[in-house]
């Protein structure tokens, strides 16, 4: 049975306690509880959670801002945005962050568990929410049409490589293995694997060497280095 790591990021300790207690009943779930004063992005870097349950009203850095940072830096981590009062406006903003689901905090445990598992299987439960909100669906379609009419192609919409991904690609170009890069950066080998997967997907590369060549052609890494 593959373990699913779930990180709970919420300002309310009672909500976090309740979520941890409810989800801990699942034998394959590993629960990480994060308070507002934690270094959240560092914790995600170290633990590589499969799913983050994120409070949309998270303090200091709003949940939407934090969600965008997570999806850009750690695309293998799925964001489930949670709100005390769901609305069309919040759903639209959640979609823009790249969240895979948008749930009310009062959602039943069974639905939450199902949503987490679906997210881990590559599904986007947020699409179900979109289908029941015609106003939001129309808004999303209009924005997509605006993008296309401006002459932008899908390649330009894709998120660029993050600073960490570029750094890792440079190390790959120098001939380092995932294990060696993990040692150099003092992070887990699994985290490096996650970053490499994200790099290959973003560049539509067949393998590590292909990714390096594409990055060199685009000037993202030094052409002096050899893969």
Same fold, 4-145 and 160-217: no
Tell me what pLDDT residue 139 has.
62
Q: What CATH number belongs to 4-145?
A: 3.40.50.2300
pLDDT 10s digits, 134-160:
666 666 555 554 544 444 433 443 446
CATH 1.10.10.10 is the classification of domain 160-217: yes
CA distances from residue 1 to 4, 29, 31, 72 in whole angstroms, order as listed: 9, 10, 16, 29
CA distances from residue 214 to 101, 202, 203, 208 in whole angstroms, order as listed: 33, 11, 7, 10
Answer yes or no: are the C-beta atoms of 39 and 84 closer than 8 Å.
no
The whole-chain average pLDDT of the chain stands at 80
With a pLDDT cut of 70, the percent of the chain lying above it is 78
With a pLDDT cut of 90, the percent of the chain lying above it is 31
Answer yes or no: are the C-beta atoms of 33 and 20 closer than 8 Å.
yes
pLDDT 10s digits, 69-121:
888 888 889 999 998 887 878 888 887 788 889 899 999 999 999 999 999 98
Q: Where are the domains of the chain?
A: 4-145, 160-217
């Amino acid at each position: 049975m593959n373990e699913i790591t779930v990180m709970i990021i919420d300002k309310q300790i009672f909500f976090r306690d309740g979520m941890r207690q409810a989800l801990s009943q699942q034998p394959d779930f590993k629960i990480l509880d994060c308070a507002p004063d934690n270094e959240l992005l560092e914790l995600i870097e170290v633990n590589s959670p499969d799913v983050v349950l994120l409070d949309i009203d998270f303090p200091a850095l709003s949940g939407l801002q934090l969600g965008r940072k997570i999806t850009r830096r750690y695309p293998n981590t799925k964001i489930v945005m949670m709100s005390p009062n769901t609305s069309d406006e919040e759903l639209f903003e959640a979609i823009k962050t790249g969240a895979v689901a948008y749930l009310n905090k009062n959602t039943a445990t069974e639905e939450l568990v199902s949503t987490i598992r679906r997210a881990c299987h590559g599904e986007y439960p947020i699409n179900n929410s979109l289908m029941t909100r015609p106003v939001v669906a129309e808004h999303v379609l209009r924005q997509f049409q605006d993008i296309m009419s401006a002459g932008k192609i899908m390649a330009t919409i894709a998120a660029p490589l993050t600073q960490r991904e570029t750094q890792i690609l440079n190390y790959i170009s120098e001939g380092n293995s995932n294990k060696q890069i993990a040692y150099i950066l003092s992070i887990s080998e699994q985290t490096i694997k996650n970053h490499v997967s994200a790099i290959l997907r973003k560049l539509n590369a067949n393998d590590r060497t292909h990714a390096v060549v594409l990055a060199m052609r685009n000037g993202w890494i030094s052409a002096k280095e050899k893969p």
